[in-house]
Chain A
Amino acid sequence: METPSNARPELKPLLGALILAARRPLALREIRRLLEETPPESTPGDVASPLAALKEREIREALEALANDLKAGGFGFWIEEGPEGFRFKTDPRCGPWVRRLLEAGRGQRLSRPALETLAIIAWRQPITRADIEAIRGVSVDHVLRLLLELQLVRIVGRSELPGRPLLYGTTTCFLEHFGLKDLSELPRLEELARLDTVRRARESETDESESGADLSPTADPREAAAPSPSHGASSEPSPEPSNEGM
């Protein structure tokens, strides 16, 4: 990680201040415009603020440097980019206490069937209910209703098929819930199957050793997955079953 903070020491604190004061996710574009539009005289001590000319890439680098500083410093929070922009996030290790403070209760985890239905929607959106059911082989009526209620899924339109069935897709809330910046952060399905095989092999090797991965604030399951923007509408090559030896 390069340190643009050395070149512009005033940028990092400024970004931290903006995000804290905003109390909502702050988009990169928004920050850049703010820096551009703020007149020089309001930045004390400086004549012509160099901040106005900053590019989004430079701001992002400073934000990432700040995020790393916060993480490394062990302050219990850091900055993270979500679907709607940058915001503070608390250290997951402090979860139980923060939850108590906020009287949040443990958020209900989704059941397997709900997660699977959600996965089908996430990777195949926009998709009709009939297509989801064709994949799962069982009615998803109840589960789909639950996902709609939780606002993890929404109706995104209607298909051109006869009867014009509703099409479902994921929401911003979905991205938030799973800590994704956007849908391109979902790995490809084939990649997941490969990771699954690796994981199983590793599990059978080291059964007893309890993994402490969740204690590491930097542990990111996405790191292992190759990012790919191609999911959703793309049709994958059909798998070939062995036709021999029946």
Chain B
Amino acid sequence: MSGAPIAEREEYRVDVEVFEGPLDLLLYLIRRDEIEICDIEITRITSQYLEYVNLMRMLDLNVAGDFLVMAATLLLIKSRMLLPAEDRGEGEAEEPDPRWDLVRRLLEYKKFKDAARHLEGLALERENMFDPGAPVAVYEPEPGVALKEVGLFDLISALNEVLKRLKPVEFEAIRDDRWTVADKMTAILERARQGGRFLFTDLFPATANRNEIVCTFLALLELIRLRQVEAWQEREFGVIEIRPARIQAMAGNEG
């Protein structure tokens, strides 16, 4: 994967802060593959993890250094798993499985993810209840990507699928990049206003080249961040659907 972030050349920089961490990505991959945290296959998860981190870097998302630290950790565990058990344990009898520490961290974090979901459920009910005494809580919009319905990793997954379908034309004649993120934002918005909802994959025609795909994807991220559109999934890891944001739809649909 090319190291140079594609978005850097754009006049429109998409400033997407990634608040999810490496453990989120690992748990996402584990859940998607429906494997037990305790049974993670290091070789497989390492390559998947690196694939996603590379994609995120290519998109020039503000990937924290923590992601690279985790990549190094995974590679270290992988190399240790390759050692025969007797060589590995020398002098350190208390080190039974190189995965142990990571597994423990994942399980610990998972508990709080469940707890967060519990809190979310409580808050959803409460946001429609008012009482006479209390000041009306108006929360500031949160900066950064706040994808409630579909997570960032879901979108990156979907992008990965699209990119994999690309025919490998590495040595294409260099054309003018006709696409900018700003153009694509306009196009997506237009589409959302006219047709209402459409599929994520509809955004990427078979003829699209890599640069166009990336521009479209960044445009989509930005529109979600700006709360112009929303990304939805029927079920976890299901097909992603794009809709105009509800508030937007209410305010001015007779446009």
**A residues engaging B (CB < 8 A)?**
20, 22-25, 87-96, 98-99, 102-116, 118-120, 122-123, 135-139, 142-143, 146, 149-150, 176-180, 186-187, 189-190, 192-193, 195-196, 203, 207, 214, 219, 221-222, 225, 238-239, 241-243, 246
Contact = CB atoms under 8 A, between A and B. Distances in A.
Nearest to A139: B64
B104 A239 contact: yes
A84 B17 CA distance: 37
Interface string B12-54: 0000010111111000000000000111000000000000000
Given A104-B136, A111-B142, A135-B112, 16 more contacts: A90-B130, A105-B138, A107-B139, A109-B124, A110-B142, A111-B148, A113-B20, A116-B113, A123-B115, A135-B105, A137-B24, A137-B70, A189-B115, A196-B117, A239-B107, A246-B97
Contacts of B20: 112-113, 138
9 contacts: A102-B130, A104-B138, A109-B123, A109-B124, A116-B113, A118-B116, A122-B115, A142-B17, A143-B19
B191 interface: no
Contact of B140 (A150, A179, A243): A150
A95 B125 CA distance: 10
Contacts of B243: none
Interface string B80-123: 01000000000000001111100111011111111111111111
A110 B144 CA distance: 12
B174 interface: no
B235 to A, nearest CB: 6
Of A22, A136, A242, most buried by chain B (CB within 10 Å of CB) is A136
B173 interface: no
A43 B144 CA distance: 59
B169 interface: no
Contacts of B96: 243
Nearest 5 interchain pairs by C-beta: A138-B21, A95-B128, A92-B128, A241-B103, A113-B19
Interface in B177-232: none
A25 B123 CA distance: 20
Contacts of A87: 131-134
